[in-house]
Amino acid sequence: MTTGTEELSNVETAKKLGLLPEEFEKIKQILGRTPNFTELSIYSVMWSEHCSYKNSIVWLKTLPKDGPHMLAKAGEENAGLVAIGDGLACAFKIESHNHPSAIEPYQGAATGVGGINRDIFTMGARPIAQLNSLRFGNPDLARTKWLMKGVVKGIGNYGNAFGIPTVGGEVFFDESFNVNILVNAMSVGIVKEGETASAISYGAGNPVYIVGSATGKDGIHGATFASGDLHEDSHEDLPSVQVGDPFMEKLLLEASLEVIKTGAVIGMQDMGAAGIICSTSEMSAKGKHGMNIYLEKAPTRQANMKGWEILLSESQERMLVVVEKGREAEVEAIFEKWDLNCQQIGEVTEGDRLRFTMNGELLADVPAESLVLGGGAPIYNREYSEPAYIAKNKAFKIDSVKQPSDLKAVMMHLTTHPNIASKKWVYTQYDSMVGTINMTTNAPADAAIVDVRNTKKALALTVDCNSRYVYADAEAGCAIAVAEAARNIVCAGGHPSAVTNCLNFGNPYNPEVYWQFVHAIKGMSAACLRFETPVTGGNVSFYNQSKNEQGEVPVFPTPTIGMVGIIPDKKKRMSLNFKQEGDVIFMLGSSRDDINSSEYLYSFHGVKNSPAPFMDLEEEYALQQVIKQLIKDGLIESAHDVSDGGLFITLLESGMPNGLGFRIETDEEIRKDAFLFGESQSRVVVSVSAEKLDAFVEMMADTDVDFVNLGEVTADDIIIDDQAYGSIIEYKEAYDNAIGKMMEA
């Protein structure tokens, strides 16, 4: 049997669409015939890495998925779902929009925000907070500044118009991201347990609706585009970048939550990557049914769109909804109230065939199961081998680095470095207060804290990954990313609950890139198991690289960790800022002669090859338990983890909010540069009031965690080993304005 009047495809057509010759043969076997162009396009997008995870699923399955709060495991729904108590659940997920943002930064970033929010509210959860994790190239390059301005404006304009606060995130710069930037967006929502919707389709005869925006030609083959290299002609792929409309999304949000509450919805799914074909196939495969879809019924923005264009379009703000037969009028009335397109485009059928017609002509007839992850989509075990540069990293010796004679020059270098300096230029373009649930605006903490209304609870949210650590040692670096995320939540007064991830790597067919991926997964698994933070799902983004005359240039491997934690009593949340002059400053955890992969070593000394900083999971776990207890008992005034920039930057960031300085002494047994600027893990700086000092020391003495009295909080002076290094005001001005000046230069 053939479908329609299209010419049959061949292996060359398959290759142009991103399919391997062996995949073309497999499609022929599945169908029992040669596919036509529409069918081949269907398999091209559904078997792309972006949709099928064909090169990653083998290792993703090894990640821990069980935890005490889990309500939906990885892969079961559009987003992760964890119980937070009081009959409520938290839905959350992080995804990438890297390639589109590198081509058209404004729309690429904006539609990334829109897409991740739809994943949350199609589950029936109301989004309450957004975070993002961004990677850019050399900040001195004009292109980097153009990309950064576009991305930040796209995130800000979409999120602000949609009405959901952006409460946290991270920005990192490195030359490896000069061409291929990374834009990872996270959304978090709240829903009552038992009131969620599922991305499923079943019940022969149930009507299938397309809801929301009209379908246009934007984003066609976008999933395939996201699974390829960026190159000098990539600007020609601009039609693969979607266009967003936040006001439409807001209407869609309210209508979706209202229609879910009726109980008339069988299933609902966002039309993201791969559009109609993705939603119809994934929902059908999950429910073990088929669909008849009449493409001419889909509202379109452009005249004379071809059937395959409608089928593969990735136009934004659209959803597929399967409704209980007989309740059509009830559902249609709600979408009409919100002034949204709501058009029945088909019905559920017995069996598992997806049949797509256009004006009575059958364009495609494919089994749903053959298209999806866990069904017929191919699964590969890729070869991997240790990158050659790892030997150079291991060969690094700290004695090869001369200690600086001018410590203040180092301090100012780090304070103003774009990887450390305030991201004020970025976050002031975001509305962080809409909805009035952000609890860290005037009380900064290591994690974003958002109120869970009508309860005692709050959520602690963070995104973390130091790409340089993962490049240095993928396993250790990824374990550090999980540990830091958990540490940030604990320092904010929370208990880590679960993880979503966005795994950004280069070409999986490159054995050295795949080695980075495999070892990152191993590090993530070990750390998530130790902190009891199961992985609820996320996103894999391969092919983050560019091509030049030397060949492929992959980005630094960046497995971004999004973590949610629960603060049982919001009154006991913890901030990072010093509270008053005279409070005693302690460091919990051990200092080491370790400057590995620190910003100090990498950018001040220009040493690009060294191992990851020290980190021991058991040491880290013990430290976090102690921090939890100190906060619970009310024995500390502030808590701030030691991370990028080392102890000096931690102290600086603790002092700046209230304009307070610090007087400390270093450890004579440790190199001064390592003590102040090294980034060895499992360290937290806390401040203690005079009244609680004895109780604090008594409690710490009963633990196995090292702690040392560093000194005290001052009015504004910064004094180290009795030497003055200026006032906190001087550093704050430099810290706050560094990126703004960089963007204006």
pLDDT of res. 546: 82
Average the pLDDT over each of 107-111, 272-276, 421-425, 671-675 and give the range with the smallest value.
272-276
Query: What's the CA gap between 523 and 591, in Å, rounded?
Result: 23
pLDDT of res. 72: 77
Helices (H), ranges, 104-141: 105-121
Residue whose tokens read 């009047």:
5
What are the start-end ranges of the E strands in 621-738? 638-641, 661-664, 684-688, 707-714, 717-720, 723-727
CA separation, residue 276 to residues 269, 539, 709 (Å): 10, 20, 61
Residue 227, pLDDT > 80, answer no
Percent of the chain with pLDDT over 70: 95
CA separation, residue 291 to residues 29, 276, 363, 590, 614 (Å): 22, 12, 14, 61, 54
Q: Per residue in 689-742, pLDDT tens?
A: 999 999 999 999 999 999 999 999 999 999 999 999 999 999 999 999 999 999
Is beta strand 126-136 parallel, antiparallel or unpaired with respect to 166-173?
parallel
Average the pLDDT over each of 99-108, 242-251, 480-489 and give the range with the smallest value.
242-251
Q: From the CB of residue 232, how many other CB atoms can be counted at a distance below 10 Å? A: 10
Looking from the CA of 233 toward its CB, the CA atoms found within 13 Å total: 1
Helices (H), ranges, 428-510: 467-472, 474-491
The reported pTM is 0.94
Helices then strands (H, E): number in the chain?
25, 27
Encode 34-61: b = buried (16+ Cβ within 10 Å), e = exposed: ebbbbbbbbbbbbbbbbbbbbbbbebbe
pLDDT of res. 96: 94
pLDDT of res. 382: 95
Contact by Cβ (8 Å): 40, 217: no
Residue 226, pLDDT > 80, answer no
pLDDT of res. 6: 61
pLDDT of res. 66: 86
Query: What's the CA gap between 416 and 739, in Å, rounded?
Result: 8
The first and second tokens of residue 136, run together, are 């850019």
User: Residue 265: enclosing H or E segment and its boundaries?
Assistant: strand 265-270
Contact by Cβ (8 Å): 314, 100: no
Q: How confident is the model at residue 438 (pLDDT cuts 50, 70, 90)?
A: confident
Q: How confident is the model at residue 435 (pLDDT cuts 50, 70, 90)?
A: low
Is beta strand 495-504 parallel, antiparallel or unpaired with respect to 535-541?
parallel
- Indicate the SS3 state at residue 465: coil
Query: What's the CA gap between 464 and 454, in Å, rounded?
Result: 29
Residue 265, pLDDT > 50, answer yes
Query: What's the CA gap between 120 and 185, in Å, rounded?
Result: 12
Higher pLDDT, 227 or 641: 641
Residue 233, pLDDT > 60, answer no
Mean pLDDT of the chain: 92
User: Which of the 8 DSSP states describes residue 578?
Assistant: -
Q: Per residue in 154-181, pLDDT tens?
A: 999 998 888 899 999 999 999 999 999 9
The type of residue at 239 is P
Residue 232, pLDDT > 70, answer no
The first and second tokens of residue 149, run together, are 């301005």
Q: Per residue in 116-144, pLDDT tens?
A: 999 999 999 999 999 999 999 999 999 99
- DSSP character string of 380-407: --------THHHHHHT--GGGSPPPS-H
pLDDT of res. 515: 98
Q: How confident is the model at residue 436 (pLDDT cuts 50, 70, 90)?
A: low
pLDDT of res. 1: 43
Contact by Cβ (8 Å): 583, 639: no
Q: Per residue in 34-87, pLDDT tens?
A: 999 999 999 999 999 888 999 999 999 999 998 888 887 777 777 899 999 999
pLDDT of res. 231: 47
pLDDT of res. 373: 85
Q: How confident is the model at residue 241 (pLDDT cuts 50, 70, 90)?
A: low
pLDDT of res. 434: 67
Contact by Cβ (8 Å): 64, 528: yes
Higher pLDDT, 68 or 598: 598
pLDDT of res. 374: 81
List residues with catalytic annotation.
50, 97
Inter-helix orientation angle 37-46/275-287, to 10°: 70
Provide Rg for the chain, Cα atoms: 26
